[in-house]
């Protein structure tokens, strides 16, 4: 027989505390949630995966991750990046609030909404001004030449000598093209910081993390050159803060 136990004073206090924490949360705005889901699919899922499960240890899970409780810390890491998390300086306050709302309230997370005005006060409004395009001459020819050597040594067996996904080694078929329209389609509207961190963290597929940051930047320069993006006077830097401002897009000319 089940015995009914009256809740003691301690349990009642704990329940009241839980209720007050829940009440302190911002309500979740459904429009922000929908916008956030879209941004997440385009900009975050390639590393943190569609169900927020991540690809540990390179890319942490966001599902059931207590870090997400602190909305300010979440907005900050999205805007500024941290270590191998690329900065999303190209997202405006509403977009940051939206994707923060989405990850804080999906896959079992229930951390509440994120206020657009609070994010705006923190990251400012001058997002568009900082943007540079991959078509603005963001690498040098010399760098692309170095990149070609590294690419042939570590990438072409799967992605093909012409970067078209036609693997040199038949056992390695099934790898995508990494230049031209396919590259742009995969990364459109995302920053080169995301492309860089994805490549650095997961390629070459059989041995991720084996290349230096400089080598990865050189290989990206080569991928841009093969994609007919013009070269310029300055090398593509391996610094995420610089790469976060360069946006992948179709030729605007
Ligand atoms: C290129 C891969 C990549 C992409 C794209 C990416 N992240 Fe991350 N993210 C990381 C890595 C790596 C870390 C761990 C950073 C560290 O080691 O400090 C991280 C950490 C985080 C954290 C903190 C988690 C914790 O436990 O500390 C949050 C929140 C987060 N990312 C959200 C996002 C959101 C939102 C997006 C899309 C707007 C995104 N990330 C896109 C790689 C990525
Ligand atoms: C063993 C085979 C293999 C090697 C070697 C390899 N890759 Fe990959 N690469 C893949 C596969 C498979 C995918 C698709 C992964 C997925 O979709 O989850 C991929 C995906 C990519 C993507 C994303 C493409 C897209 O459209 O989103 C980039 C960029 C990339 N690789 C760059 C590189 C670079 C640069 C190197 C060399 C440093 C390299 N890869 C070496 C197999 C390989």
Pocket test for ligand 2, best of 158, 202, 213 (most atoms within 8 A of CB): 158
- Give yes or no for a contact between 252 and 95, defined as CB atoms under 8 angstroms apart: no
The domain locations on the chain are 27-130, 133-247
**Predicted local confidence at residue 172, as pLDDT:** 78
Q: Indicate which atom in ligand 2 lies nearest the CA of residue 154.
A: 37
pLDDT band at 17 (very low <50, low <70, confident <90, very high): very low
Q: How far apart are CA 221 and CA 138, in angstroms?
A: 8
Residue 186 above 70 pLDDT?
yes
Residue 3 above 60 pLDDT?
no
Residue 217 above 50 pLDDT?
yes
Q: Indicate which atom in ligand 1 lies nearest the CA of residue 198.
A: 1
CATH class (in words) of the domain with range 133-247: mainly alpha
How open is the CA angle 65-69-74, to the nearest 5 degrees?
90
Ligand 2 centroid–CA 179 distance in Å is: 11
Reported in sequence order, the residue ranges of the chain that DSSP labels E, i.e. its strands, are 132-133, 246-247
Ligand 2 centroid–CA 236 distance in Å is: 20
**Predicted local confidence at residue 6, as pLDDT:** 42
pLDDT band at 1 (very low <50, low <70, confident <90, very high): very low
CATH class (in words) of the domain with range 27-130: mainly alpha
Q: Which helix (H) or strand (E) is 95 found in, with range?
A: helix 93-104
Q: Which residue has the tokens 């609070």?
A: 118
CA atoms within 13 A on the CB side of 158: 12
Ligand 2 centroid–CA 234 distance in Å is: 26
The pLDDT mean for the chain works out to 88
Residues with CB under 6 A from ligand 2: 154-155, 157-159, 172, 174-176, 178, 182, 186, 199, 203-206, 211, 219
Ligand with an atom nearest the CA of residue 159? 2
Q: Do domains 27-130 and 133-247 have the same CATH topology?
A: yes
Cα R_g (the chain), whole angstroms? 22
Q: Which among 244, 228, 235 has a CA at the least distance from the CA of 146?
A: 235
Q: Which residue has the tokens 């690329």?
A: 86
């Amino acid at each position: 027989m089940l015995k009914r136990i009256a809740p003691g004073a301690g349990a009642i206090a704990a329940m009241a505390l839980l209720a007050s924490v829940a009440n302190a949360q911002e309500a979740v705005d459904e429009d922000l949630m929908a916008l956030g889901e879209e941004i997440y699919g385009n900009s975050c899922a390639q590393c943190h995966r569609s169900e927020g499960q991540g690809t540990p240890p390179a890319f942490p899970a966001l599902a059931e991750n207590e870090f997400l409780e602190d909305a300010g810390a979440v907005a900050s890491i999205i805007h500024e990046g941290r270590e191998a998390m690329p900065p999303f300086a190209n997202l405006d306050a509403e977009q940051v609030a939206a994707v923060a709302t989405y990850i804080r309230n999906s896959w079992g997370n229930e951390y509440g909404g994120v206020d657009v005005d609070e994010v705006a006060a923190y990251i400012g409004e001058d997002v568009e001004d900082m943007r540079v395009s991959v078509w603005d001459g963001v690498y040098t020819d010399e760098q692309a030449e170095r990149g070609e050597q590294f690419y042939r040594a570590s990438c072409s067996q799967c992605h093909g000598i012409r970067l078209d996904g036609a693997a040199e080694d038949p056992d390695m078929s099934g790898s995508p093209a990494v230049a031209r329209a396919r590259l742009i389609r995969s990364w459109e509207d995302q920053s080169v910081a995301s492309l860089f961190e994805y490549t650095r963290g997961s390629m070459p597929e059989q041995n991720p993390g084996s290349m230096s940051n400089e080598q990865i930047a050189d290989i990206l320069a080569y991928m841009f050159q093969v994609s007919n993006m013009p070269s310029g006077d300055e090398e593509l830097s391996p610094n995420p803060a610089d790469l976060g401002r360069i946006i992948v897009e179709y030729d605007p000319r």
